[in-house]
Chains A and B, each alone.
Chain A
């Protein structure tokens, strides 16, 4: 039986049927199919959540291998495993209890915040040492960025309201066109990828090697 389900054509067929079960109710009001579709999505959500266990297993296996071989930085693997189990323990004790809150607010919050905030220093360093008007293209980019950045400072609009239309022109035209183009490109690419997956042309997501 397991051999049967390991066949590529069977797996692609299951993907196709699952797709149709969710896709058709999106456009046609068929109550039975609609209800089944919702159940299928809920089941997919739950199964998806359980992949966390697989991730923990893979992480543990990798970490224990590193520790066993005394590989480079093996103590970090020990630290990672210790943190993993400590967090799981605190979660089991209860998300409203003090240990969980301590980890959240004394460790994760500051670490996560610093990780993000430090970008400001890198950006300022780039402004001082890398943003150069080396060509006419670079100058135009820099000038546009300069005006938008100036507008982004809250004080500017208050003392010099005339900058708003200029900055909004740049954000509503150039930035918007780029954003829309990116979105449309991603959407078209997603559709193409989806069709290729349904036709069995892209099978890596099922664990099969790429076809030549």
Chain B
């Protein structure tokens, strides 16, 4: 026997059994709309971002910095803003920038990094081999990460183009202790290996820019003193762009980021209104999730 509420339901039934296509459409509009026509909402800067920024800001000329790209293209979309802002900070401080890739997909990313840094590198007079090197896919597995820490030139002989790295600024890098900082752009690829084989035995400083789901793990590493700082997801990237006064894709995406978050919250509220107003009182047996 069905109640009158079950037979009718109106708006409450609609909320309780909302069609997923409506949800998808709303999210699509809220993400694409601000990207086409930016609103320019204000943002706040988290304490973690300030700590991350300060760790990179301590770099000086001739410090050798490793930009480790332990990400796929999918993660790169979330991390690119923070990675580019971090690399820009390195170049602005005239430190030496070395790129190493930890995932096959990421072999396509260094050209994007250099393209994004073109302006600041030209302004600072950066030259390939003298101030920066792309070493390519050097971290295919954990033993490679460990070997590079203990004897860098034993593992790495050439750059991405196949040219010898002898005679470059990397001559002074023998072990992990000779690196001033690792900027680990990471979706979970060799981040723990860098801690185990670089940070713990050699004390190499690491800052990590990680995807959203890794934030709590990275914060634990910051508290334990294993990371100098951590930057979380696209929002962290936008905050760093804001701090260094270099607006880019991160800040551009923040309107959509904010609206998408609010839409999720509104969906949760509406769904629960539907649940308490329709589903629960009527004790509907069928799955409410299926339209």
Contacts and interface: CB of A to CB of B under 8 A. Distances in A.
A129 B18 contact: yes
A2 interface: no
Contacts of A38: 147, 150-151, 154
A149 B261 contact: yes
B160 interface: yes
A154 B264 contact: no
B60 interface: no
B271 interface: yes
In terms of DSSP, what is the predominant structure of the interface of chain B?
A: helix
B268 A127 contact: yes
Contacts of A105: 108
Interface of B: 17-18, 20, 23-24, 26-27, 31, 41-44, 46-47, 72-75, 77-78, 105, 107-108, 111, 136, 140-141, 143-144, 146-147, 150-151, 154-155, 160-161, 201, 215-217, 219-220, 223, 235, 238-239, 254, 257-258, 260-265, 267-268, 270-272, 275-276, 279, 288-289
B258 A154 contact: yes
In terms of DSSP, what is the predominant structure of the interface of chain A?
A: helix
B154 A39 contact: yes
A44 B150 CA distance: 14
B47 to A, nearest CB: 8
A54 B154 CA distance: 25
B154 A132 contact: no
Interface of A: 26, 34, 37-39, 41-42, 44-45, 48-49, 95-96, 101, 104-105, 108-109, 112-113, 115-117, 120-121, 123-125, 127-134, 142, 146, 149-150, 152-159, 161, 164, 168, 171-172, 175-176, 178-180, 183
B85 to A, nearest CB: 15
Given A38-B151, A45-B143, A172-B219, A152 B261 contact: yes
A44 B145 CA distance: 11
Contact of B143 (A48, A157, A171): A48
B134 to A, nearest CB: 10
Given A45-B143, A146-B265, A113 B77 contact: yes
B275 A150 contact: no
A150 B261 contact: yes
